[in-house]
A and B are shown apart, each in its own frame.
Chain A
Amino acid sequence: MDFVTRGFQGRPRGRDDRLPPGQYLTGDFPVLSAGPTSNVDHDEFELWVATEDGTRHTWSWAELMALPAETVTVDIHCVTSWSKLDTEWRGVSLDTLLADVETAADFAMVHSYGGYTTNLPLEDLLDGQAWVAYGYDGDDLRPEHGGPARLLVPHLYFWKSAKWVRGIELMLEDSPGFWEQLGYHDYGDPWREQRYQGD
């Protein structure tokens, strides 16, 4: 045990059964970023999915808007220890986007405007577990929170929910993304506290 600072508790952590271990509850929506906020116009927005054989599927903003949307209320957990409960999002399920995509891939690399990347197992994007979200709390998703559209994968730490999403690359082999290259966990399950590699 490290030297303890008398009187210091930090924020109250893990006192709610909806809070994963080591997390504290926040009512705010903190903004964390690894780079400048991307301002992507709807006109220039294009979402792509690329399979392992190079086939590309693309959706313009209008095409994305035309897909059936869902409103979901979920808890989100950031690796920096804040959790936010009952957040309401609107977007398109990845089940819908990937319905006609033929692939043998087991992994996905998600790419963002601005260059950010994050890797996930493909099965974690399916079965009602992930969305491309463009609405938050009844409004358009604001740029600092990843608008016009971000990935939403609430069962994993929130760095997996890439802001400013632009593409999903399907891969046969796993490969680390932006933070996963620098010591963060490849999977990132908050309930198993998989923050760092080796956790």
Chain B
Amino acid sequence: MTIPDGPGPTAAYDGNLMAGPLSELFALDVTVAVVRCRGCGADAEVATLRVYGPEPGLVGRCPGCDDVLVRVVRTPDAVWLDLGGVTSLQVPAPKR
């Protein structure tokens, strides 16, 4: 790799990195879920969010407008989740 990619405007990770921490909370794999941004209305799969972290916590931002959509913090004895930046979370589920 030759791309000088020091600290800059882009996120170092994407929502794929949220798979492990979110697996502690959700019955289904949430990285394939589609979230709708409360700020700009765009839909994005959780795996495609721009993710900052992993410490002190994971911050998933909208690929369209950079608003904070999802935050996850793992403390020694709890998982804290904030979905305040999304209006909906749509998870593919087995057919009923």
From B7, B9, B52, A34 is in contact (CB under 8 Å) with: B52
Task: Decide yes or no whether B24 CB sits under 8 A from chain A.
Answer: no
Interface flags for A27-42 (1: CB within 8 Å of B; 0: not) read 0000111111101000
Inter-chain contact count A-B, CB under 8 Å? 53
Q: Which of A35, A79, A115, A179 has the most CB of B within 10 A?
A: A35
* Given contacts A35-B66, A37-B7, A37-B9, A183 and B73 within 8 Å (CB-CB): yes
CB of B43, distance to nearest CB on chain A (Å): 21
For chain B, give the interface size range: 20 to 34
CB of A60, distance to nearest CB on chain B (Å): 25
Interface flags for A103-115 (1: CB within 8 Å of B; 0: not) read 0000000000001
A143 cross-chain contacts in B, Cβ below 8 A: 7
Interface residues on chain A, number (Cβ under 8 Å): 22
From B8, B55, B61, B73, A182 is in contact (CB under 8 Å) with: B73
* Given contacts A32-B56, A80-B56, A182 and B9 within 8 Å (CB-CB): no
Task: Decide yes or no whether B78 CB sits under 8 A from chain A.
Answer: yes
Task: Name A's interface SS.
Answer: loop
CB of B12, distance to nearest CB on chain A (Å): 9
* Given contacts A35-B52, A196-B75, A183 and B8 within 8 Å (CB-CB): no
CB of A30, distance to nearest CB on chain B (Å): 9
A79 cross-chain contacts in B, Cβ below 8 A: 56
A115 cross-chain contacts in B, Cβ below 8 A: 68
B7 touches A31 (CB 8 A): yes
B7 touches A35 (CB 8 A): no
* Given contacts A35-B52, A115-B68, A182 and B7 within 8 Å (CB-CB): no
Chain A residues at the B interface, C-beta cutoff of 8 Å:
31-37, 39, 79-80, 115, 143-144, 159, 179, 181-184, 195-197
Q: Provide 30 A-B residue pairs closer than 8 Å at the C-beta atoms, listed in order of the A residue.
A: A32-B56, A33-B52, A34-B57, A34-B59, A34-B68, A35-B52, A35-B61, A35-B68, A36-B10, A36-B11, A37-B7, A37-B8, A37-B9, A39-B9, A80-B55, A115-B68, A144-B7, A144-B8, A179-B56, A179-B57, A179-B73, A182-B57, A182-B71, A182-B72, A182-B73, A182-B80, A182-B82, A183-B57, A183-B73, A195-B75
The 3 closest A-B pairs by CB, nearest first: A144-B7, A183-B80, A80-B55
- Taking A34-B53, A115-B68, A183-B75 as known contacts, 11 extra A-B pairs with beta carbons closer than 8 A to each other, sorted by chain A number, are A32-B55, A35-B61, A36-B9, A37-B7, A80-B55, A143-B7, A159-B56, A181-B82, A182-B80, A182-B82, A196-B76
Chain B residues at the A interface, C-beta cutoff of 8 Å:
6-11, 52-53, 55-57, 59, 61, 66, 68, 71-73, 75-76, 78, 80, 82
